[in-house]
Structure 1
Amino acid sequence: MNAIDNSAVLPAGFLSSLEEAVGPRNVKTGADVLGADPGWHPDNLRCGVVVYPGSTDQVAAVVRLCREHRIAIVPHGGKTGLVGGGISKAGEIVVSLERMNRIERLDPVEQVAVVEAGAILQTLQEAAAVDGLSPGIDLAARGSATIGGLVSTNAGGIMAFRNGVMRHRVLGLEAVLADGSVFSDLTRVVKNSAGYDLKHLFIGAEGTLGIVTRVAVKLEPLVPEGATALFGLPSLAAVFALLTEARTLKSGQLAAAEAMWSGFFGFSAGNHGWSAPGYRNDNPVNLLLSFAGHDEVRLAEDIAVLYETMLERFPETEAVLASSLAQRDALWRLREDTEQVYHAFPAAPSYDVSVPLSETEAYVARLEEGLQAVDPDLKPLIFGHIADGNLHIILNRRGGEMPAETLAAAEAALYKDIRFLGGSFSAEHGVGSKRIHSLTETADPVKLRWIGEMKRFLDPDNLFNPGKLVG
């Protein structure tokens, strides 16, 4: 369901006050919202009113107006979230940071960028690359995901095992609070022991405690991609053995390690018509490795040695080395094009867990056994960022197709003891409106209490993103 014109339910004069604060062209209602792309969730623009501030001062002015009239605010970045963190309803407004997209500072000596929250990740990647740098984070939605959205969801992506998640990339930030005041801590240094590091309250808070407006991002040296290879492996033990060897390559640095279990890989390869001589599409696990390095010839030679080493230990090992950009892109398409699954299973139940590496094999075995007990035809399509234990799991069912009790039983199998294993039910997608029950069921009770206390303290009127994360 897309937007409808809900502007009539707002208090008289409120819209005109918004227009005074940000300019008439920057308040959209009616047909202007109805025709807009809602993003990943069809209800993102359901409220029918979108405000586009152009500065932190304008964001603060909008917040003060909303507080005065008791109008809830749903902050929007690139609208690529997968857990309903940006959905809105009648009587609320969306505040989009789309206009606040400037890279204000990019210092190659400091290796720090200061950007507005609406800046697109790919834009920052390209700007940093001019100086041989990278923001140290990458994900499939790079062309639409915003820095503010990445901060608010504590996004991870394919480089997290090397550079950490977004929490580790943020040196400082600025955010507008529920009373309209501006919290400004745009620290640009790594060393900072001056009291409580309050920026962490807003990282991963999904816009429920404040609206992030500017961010100081730590940059990393950019090493050019040197080689991409796909390995077909007989087990997770082989995957971890290969990861261990891959980290020791002298000619290149491991840049990405993406695992695809046979169900997902076979589905993806079949949909893309992908095949390679001597490579079976039904290997138990497939591992896509990318290496960064300057000497492509030596790197290719070392990958060949890596393959031979694996063959000695695991004779079933198969491998494909991309010999062109087109072949590299084709291999990555197998991993990143998850839309194919959702075309076959619209709104399929999907999950995003993280599990310590030593627990991964047992977890997957228990998961498959548990799902079989729920429904023998229920199959998990599993893939993910294996080097940091992040698994994405999609069930082969259409959204709404599974009875509520069956879905609950499947989720119980997915989340069984995951906290006590040292993992998390949400690795990088967040909680949003979709996973509140999962947070409640799996989190430490003391943590839950303090989440609620923090929300009530910073946002006593529930102004920011109601119905998300804290319910």
Structure 2
Amino acid sequence: MIDQHPSQAGLQDAPAAVPYALLDDIRGVVGARHLRIGAAADVDPGTNPENLGAGIIVAPATTEEVAAVVRLCDRHGVPVVAQGGRTGLVGGSVSEPGEIVLSLERMNRIERLDAVERTAVVQAGVVLEALRQAAAEHRLEPGIDLAARGSATVGGMVSTNAGGVMAFRNGVMRHRVLGLEAVLADGSVYRDMTRVVKNAAGYDLKHLFIGAEGTLGIVTRAVLKLDPTPRATATALFGLPSVTAALDLIRLALDSETGQLRAAEALWRSFIDLTASAHGWSEPDFELDQPFYLLLALGGGREEALRAEFEKLFGDILERHPETTGIVAGSKRQEEALWRLREDTDIIYRAHAAAPSYDVSVPLSQIDGYVDRILTGLGTIDPELKPFVFGHLADGNLHIVLNRRGPLPTALAAALYADLAALGGSFSAEHGVGSKRIHALAATADRTKLKLMRRVKDTLDSHALMNPGKVLPLVPPPDNDSNRNGVEAHA
């Protein structure tokens, strides 16, 4: 039911499906300045313009304000879409008229950073780079890093169970969170702000909210583990004849006595050709003529010793794979240039607007065969398909971006996802499910898992108001096993 037209200026622009009385009440909670209605031209939509589809953005400043807003929305039956840095790639924060976007942008305080405990207590809107800089003052780091560090927020990273380049060593976000606070669908607040690693006091319920993408509650604060930062780092780029050779090199680097492996990033030939060309990158004694490249980073006590370790690694891998080539960054400028070759993935989308992307995890022993299989399968469907493949090789996370504009035939998803679960992998490594990958989850997940997920959702969000249309299908799948080995119906 729609309330009468309000006297307050601006509310007449609100979508008709949202009661004016609700907006009046929300404004009373957060203040008029923090309730934005209309086109919101001053707000960056992030990776998807549909993120701002609701046309209403409320920005609370405290957990109490978040809880009050959620209680009001529950009372009026209006869905809430929580948003952080809007960096997601699977439509996990898209919104539409009739919903309200709840932005955590104002909840951006680092409340406590303890160098002795090696912990940080942060609000959900804290940007990863801000936490990195604050921790660095104490020679600490969050233990997790990703290319969107300048805009991704802690709440969003918790909600998507973000991974990044250091996951092979430090785990994903689930392994970095000690304690958590979240607002539930009825406006009650779950608090478990534990600051210790050892905690065997009953069910560890915080894990319900990590990776739930805001469908079970809104993460408002978190306690994160911090790790010591190495005094020095060094980076090298290797050209290798195969994935097998790259995995051999990673194993050698993990066994290093001098440095600690911090990153092992894979760049297939088509990807590095594109990024190197876009950045005008070249080195006189390093040709881009190998089928595969591996970007390695070491951390340790002295930069000179780390570079010497790379020289030793180069000699060791040459004995096994004589075709190997390599280059070690001799300065911070060269190091940054090498990392741009891996991290500037926007180059793909400038060359191929709206290119479909996929984010899979494959057991290390299966990567070579998997990539060969998908390249053959895609080529059979369309000989013009030349996917860009790159990713976090040490943990088996591959990113695959097609040189084509979507939407694409369902056969492409079949080629990418077929047998992944049987191999022990996953169709979503670190980007989540969102709205784009619901069909893949419904088609590939164990039936009992889906039933349990549905029961948890129904229990914590019985009115389905928390980020609707994400992760779980609105209609439960049939109660049979006929599609257990299927693939998503839509790419």
TM-score (norm 1): 0.96
Structure 1 stretches lacking a partner, 5+ long: none
Q: Map 1:27-66 to 2 at 5 A.
A: 27-31=35-39, 33-66=40-73
Q: Which residue number in structure 1 is paired with residue 32 of structure 2?
A: 24
Q: Which residue number in structure 1 is paired with residue 375 of structure 2?
A: 368
Letter of the aligned partner of 2:156 in structure 1? Answer: G
C-alpha distance in structure 2 between counterparts of 1:392 and 1:110, whole Å? 35
Matched, 1:159 2:159: no
Q: 2:231 touches 2:302 (CA, 8 Å); kept in 1?
A: no
Q: Map 1:226-241 to 2 at 5 A.
A: 226-241=233-248
1:388: how far off? 0.3
C-alpha distance in structure 1 between counterparts of 2:276 and 2:52, whole Å? 35
Q: 1:269 touches 1:281 (CA, 8 Å); kept in 2?
A: no
Aligned counterpart for 1:316 among listed residues 319, 323, 326: 323
C-alpha distance in structure 1 between counterparts of 2:282 and 2:66, whole Å? 51
Letter of the aligned partner of 1:23 in structure 2? Answer: G
- Higher mean C-alpha deviation, range 145-154 or range 375-384: 375-384
Q: 1:345 touches 1:399 (CA, 8 Å); kept in 2?
A: no
Q: 1:34 touches 1:48 (CA, 8 Å); kept in 2?
A: no
Q: Which residue number in structure 2 is paired with residue 143 of structure 1?
A: 150
Q: Which residue number in structure 1 is paired with residue 451 of structure 2?
A: 449
Listed one character per residue, the Cα deviations across residues 161-215 of structure 1 (whole Å, up to 9, x for unaligned) are 1100000000010000011100001111111111110000000000000000000
Q: SS of the residue aligned with 1:378? A: coil
Listed one character per residue, the Cα deviations across residues 399-422 of structure 1 (whole Å, up to 9, x for unaligned) are 33x4xxx2x111111111111111
Q: Map 1:322-333 to 2 at 5 A.
A: 322-333=329-340
Aligned counterpart for 2:117 among listed residues 110, 114, 117: 110
Q: Which residue number in structure 1 is paired with residue 180 of structure 2?
A: 173
Q: Map 1:30-429 to 2 at 5 A.
A: 30-31=38-39, 33-400=40-407, 402=408, 406=409, 408-429=410-431
C-alpha distance in structure 1 between counterparts of 2:199 and 2:405, whole Å? 48
Q: SS of the residue aligned with 2:126? A: coil
Q: CA RMSD in A?
A: 1.2
Q: Which residue number in structure 2 is paired with residue 13 of structure 1?
A: 21
1:7: how far off? 3.5
Letter of the aligned partner of 1:82 in structure 2? Answer: L
Letter of the aligned partner of 1:132 in structure 2? Answer: R
Against the structure 1 CA distance between its residues 191 and 237, is the aligned structure 2 distance closer, same or farther, given a 3 Å change threshold? same
Count of residue pairs the alignment pairs up: 462
Q: 1:75 touches 1:211 (CA, 8 Å); kept in 2?
A: yes
Q: SS of the residue aligned with 2:51? A: coil
Q: SS of the residue aligned with 1:100? A: coil
C-alpha distance in structure 1 between counterparts of 2:49 and 2:183, whole Å? 27
C-alpha distance in structure 2 between counterparts of 1:56 and 1:302, whole Å? 48
Q: 1:256 touches 1:291 (CA, 8 Å); kept in 2?
A: yes
Letter of the aligned partner of 2:32 in structure 1? Answer: P
Q: Which residue number in structure 1 is paired with residue 471 of structure 2?
A: 469
Listed one character per residue, the Cα deviations across residues 109-134 of structure 1 (whole Å, up to 9, x for unaligned) are 11111100011111111111111111
TM-score (norm 2): 0.92
Q: 1:229 touches 1:288 (CA, 8 Å); kept in 2?
A: yes
Q: SS of the residue aligned with 1:34? A: coil
Q: 1:30 touches 1:48 (CA, 8 Å); kept in 2?
A: yes
Q: 1:228 touches 1:288 (CA, 8 Å); kept in 2?
A: yes
C-alpha distance in structure 1 between counterparts of 2:373 and 2:231, whole Å? 39
C-alpha distance in structure 2 between counterparts of 1:18 and 1:300, whole Å? 57
Q: 2:144 touches 2:164 (CA, 8 Å); kept in 1?
A: yes
Q: Which residue number in structure 2 is paired with residue 430 of structure 1?
A: 432
Letter of the aligned partner of 1:29 in structure 2? Answer: I
Q: SS of the residue aligned with 1:106? A: strand
C-alpha distance in structure 1 between counterparts of 2:131 and 2:465, whole Å? 30
C-alpha distance in structure 2 between counterparts of 1:380 and 1:308, whole Å? 32
**Sequence identity of aligned pairs in percent?**
59
Letter of the aligned partner of 2:243 in structure 1? Answer: L
Q: 1:5 touches 1:49 (CA, 8 Å); kept in 2?
A: no
Against the structure 1 CA distance between its residues 5 and 248, is the aligned structure 2 distance closer, same or farther, given a 3 Å change threshold? farther
C-alpha distance in structure 1 between counterparts of 2:248 and 2:370, whole Å? 18
1:5: how far off? 4.7
Against the structure 1 CA distance between its residues 147 and 134, is the aligned structure 2 distance closer, same or farther, given a 3 Å change threshold? same
C-alpha distance in structure 2 between counterparts of 1:434 and 1:372, whole Å? 24
Q: SS of the residue aligned with 1:44? A: helix
Structure 2 stretches lacking a partner, 5+ long: 1-11, 474-491
